[in-house]
Structure 1
Amino acid sequence: MHGEYKIPGGKLVVVDVEAEGGVLRQVRVAGDFFLEPDEALEAVNRALEGAPADTGAAGLAARIDAALPEGTVMYGLTSEGVGVAVRRALAHATDWTDYDWQLIHEGPQSPALHMALDEVLTAEVAAGRRPPTLRGWEGGSRARRARARGGGAMFVEPGNTITYSLSVPEALVQGLSFQDSYAYLDDWVLGALGEMGIRAWYQPLNDIATDQGKIAGAAQKRVVGPGGGPGAVLHHVTMSYDIDADKMLEVLRIGREKMSDKGIKSAKKRVDPLRRQTGLAREAVIGRMISSFGDRYGLSRGKVTDDESARALELAREKFSSAEWTARVP
């Protein structure tokens, strides 16, 4: 079994392993990381050999840490990252490059239709009728608050935010914890930001931050496949391009402590726009993000099919435009 894991902010770890009699055998760890001294890599392999196959990533990391020679130096590598790569191998997880990725980036839509499209496209990926999809949002004329399961509120304002969704097969995040799946699905955009001169990092559980403040928030929803089979994951990210902090505080519900003068100043400072950090037009930032994704994994231009569009329109009308949904407070 073969597993790969790109450590967020680090290097690629590759593991080949067999599972015989409920234990790990023939473990071989490789990658583009730096590990010193030379014998440390063989110590990692020996530490994993014979481990129970159901050992979690943290347990595997503990075995590695106990076996490493004194003074071992790791760069771009962590013991837990190796453990995650092992778990992904055993779970038969796929890699980004195993798929033919499709880009959908169409004109402005209403908030209800955007949410409906996310739901429909992710269900299509789960059913195997659509390839993994990166979809860019373009907003209409209204400022709205966006929310999704697994994330807090993010202020989405047309023209002033960059919002995208990833609809991916569940196999892509197999072997990852819920928290690790956020970091894994955000890693490509950290690279894209780095190419624009922004040093950004994943901040648990669902934020992307720089030393100037938070620039993005993510949310996820898991979709079960047909007949209870393998499903898909919707990973949604909203990035602050040129956000109006005063308007954000008017729209979002925040606690009494944050409503104090000190709290308001702190809330404004926490969100720092990409426009100031890059000096680039919003369209240029989006274009560079798309190019970076394509350079890494390949990306072809696609579109929403007529059937997907019809289903999304119905869902937007019956679910996402209903008072039951729009007035719901999570």
Structure 2
Amino acid sequence: MHGEYKEPGGKLVVVDLDVEGGALRNVRVAGDFFLEPDEAILQIDAALEGAPAHTDAAGLAARLTAALPKTAVLFGLSPDGIAIAVRRALSGATEWSDHDWQLIHDPAQPPALHMALDEVLTAEVAAGRRPPTLRVWEWASPAVIIGSFQSLRNEVDPAGAERHGFAVVRRISGGGAMFVEPQSTITYSLSVPESLVSGLSYADSYAYLDDWVLGALAGIGVKAWYQPLNDIATDVGKIAGAAQKRTAGGGVLHHVTMAYDIDAGKMADVLRIGREKLSGKGTASAGKRVDPLARQTGLPRAEVIERMIGAFRRRYGLADGSVTADEMARARDLAATKFSSQEWTARVP
């Protein structure tokens, strides 16, 4: 069995192993990490040898921590990362390079249709009828997109939304509200098979699926990191938030909204951002909660998007694609019957 895991900001860890009699055998850990002293690699292998195959990642990490001498120096890897690589080997996880990735970057669409496309495309990936897909969104109109479990009345000021022409829609993933203006936001979705995140905890999968975008941001001069659970942050502020939905058919939807530019006053007029949320972020106003990419990069929005797509393509390969006629027909139906309905939008009043 073979498993790989690259810790965000770290190096690649590769594990090859057998399972005999319910225990790990012939364990070999490798990778492009740094480790001192040399013999510590043998101690890592020995610590995993014979471990029950059902041991979870925390248990495997504990075995590794106990076996390593206090003088050992691990650079680019950790006991937790090694343990995750083992669990991915045992679960038959796939790697990014195992898949032929497809890009969808279509003209602007209405907010409700974007919600529906996420649901349809992820179902198609789960069913094996579509390859794993990176979809970059273009917005036809301003919108507030609330999380699946958020209260409509607690999150949105209806008078403010109407005054500024914002539609309000609810997505299928959890998390917080997205404040979107067409040329001020960068949004993308990853629709992937569950095998890509197999062996990862729910929290770890967030950083794993967005490790590529941290590299893309670094390429345009933005040093960013993942701030658990679902924020992408820099030393001058948050720039993005992620959300996920695991589907019953074995698909994973992971989407991210990045602030390219923002009208803080308008956002405060449309969103009911609670005092508790603001105090928890250590800020006094909504405008200070995000730091847009326009200010940090000085690049046009379209160029930021193209550089992000280019970074993904260089790392994993990416063929240009499109939404099929059948997928679009189903998405339009869902947009009309579900995502535009008051029953869905106000399902948590």
Same fold (TM over 0.5): yes
1:76 maps to 76
The one-letter code of the counterpart of 2:58 is: A
Separation in structure 2 between the aligned mates of residue 17 and residue 162 of structure 1, nearest angstrom? 41
2:157 maps to none
Report SS of the residue matched to 2:330.
Answer: helix
- Is 1:169 the equivalent of 2:193? yes
2:45 maps to 45
User: Which of residues 239, 249, 257 is equivalent to 2:258?
Assistant: 239
- Is 1:217 the equivalent of 2:236? no
Kindly report which structure 2 residues correspond to 1:161-310, keeping only aligned pairs within 5 A, or say none: 161-225=185-249, 231-257=250-276, 265-310=284-329
Separation in structure 2 between the aligned mates of residue 41 and residue 280 of structure 1, nearest angstrom? 44
**Structure 1, unaligned stretches of length 5 or more?**
226-230
Report SS of the residue matched to 1:265.
Answer: coil
Separation in structure 1 between the aligned mates of residue 324 and residue 133 of structure 2, nearest angstrom? 13
How big is the shift at 1:263? 7.6
**Alignment identity in percent?**
73
Report SS of the residue matched to 1:144.
Answer: strand
Separation in structure 2 between the aligned mates of residue 13 and residue 325 of structure 1, nearest angstrom? 43
- Is 1:26 the equivalent of 2:26? yes
Separation in structure 2 between the aligned mates of residue 142 and residue 101 of structure 1, nearest angstrom? 29
Separation in structure 2 between the aligned mates of residue 218 and residue 48 of structure 1, nearest angstrom? 34
How big is the shift at 1:254? 2.0
How big is the shift at 1:135? 0.3
The one-letter code of the counterpart of 2:284 is: K
Report SS of the residue matched to 1:220.
Answer: strand
Separation in structure 2 between the aligned mates of residue 79 and residue 259 of structure 1, nearest angstrom? 35
Contact conserved, 1:258 with 1:264, CA < 8 A, in 2? no
Of 5-14 and 262-271, more deviation after overlay is shown by 262-271
Report SS of the residue matched to 2:116.
Answer: helix
Kindly report which structure 2 residues correspond to 1:128-143, keeping only aligned pairs within 5 A, or say none: 128-143=128-143
- Is 1:156 the equivalent of 2:163? no
Contact conserved, 1:155 with 1:248, CA < 8 A, in 2? yes
Q: Which whole-Å deviations, capped at 9, do the CAs of 1:92-115 have from their partners, x for residues lacking one? A: 000001010000000111100000
- Is 1:117 the equivalent of 2:136? no
Separation in structure 2 between the aligned mates of residue 112 and residue 199 of structure 1, nearest angstrom? 33
Instruction: Describe the shift of the 1:74–1:266 C-alpha distance in structure 2 as closer, same or farther (beyond 3 A).
Output: farther
Report SS of the residue matched to 1:152.
Answer: coil
Separation in structure 2 between the aligned mates of residue 257 and residue 180 of structure 1, nearest angstrom? 26
The one-letter code of the counterpart of 1:218 is: A
Separation in structure 1 between the aligned mates of residue 80 and residue 283 of structure 2, nearest angstrom? 38
So what's the TM-score if we normalise by structure 1? 0.95
The one-letter code of the counterpart of 1:254 is: I
1:228 maps to none
Contact conserved, 1:258 with 1:267, CA < 8 A, in 2? no
Separation in structure 2 between the aligned mates of residue 71 and residue 250 of structure 1, nearest angstrom? 55
1:67 maps to 67
User: Which of residues 307, 325, 329 is equivalent to 2:344?
Assistant: 325
Q: Tell me how large the CA RMSD over aligned residues is.
A: 1.6
Separation in structure 2 between the aligned mates of residue 7 and residue 263 of structure 1, nearest angstrom? 28
Q: How many residues align?
A: 324
How big is the shift at 1:141? 2.4
Instruction: Describe the shift of the 1:208–1:23 C-alpha distance in structure 2 as closer, same or farther (beyond 3 A).
Output: same
Report SS of the residue matched to 2:242.
Answer: strand
Contact conserved, 2:144 with 2:177, CA < 8 A, in 1? no
Separation in structure 2 between the aligned mates of residue 288 and residue 265 of structure 1, nearest angstrom? 33
Instruction: Describe the shift of the 1:264–1:81 C-alpha distance in structure 2 as closer, same or farther (beyond 3 A).
Output: closer
The one-letter code of the counterpart of 1:111 is: P
Separation in structure 2 between the aligned mates of residue 118 and residue 197 of structure 1, nearest angstrom? 30
Separation in structure 2 between the aligned mates of residue 236 and residue 329 of structure 1, nearest angstrom? 21
How big is the shift at 1:264? 6.6
Contact conserved, 2:259 with 2:291, CA < 8 A, in 1? yes
The one-letter code of the counterpart of 1:287 is: E
**Structure 2, unaligned stretches of length 5 or more?**
148-170
Contact conserved, 1:192 with 1:292, CA < 8 A, in 2? yes
Report SS of the residue matched to 1:52.
Answer: coil
How big is the shift at 1:257? 4.5
Separation in structure 1 between the aligned mates of residue 278 and residue 288 of structure 2, nearest angstrom? 14
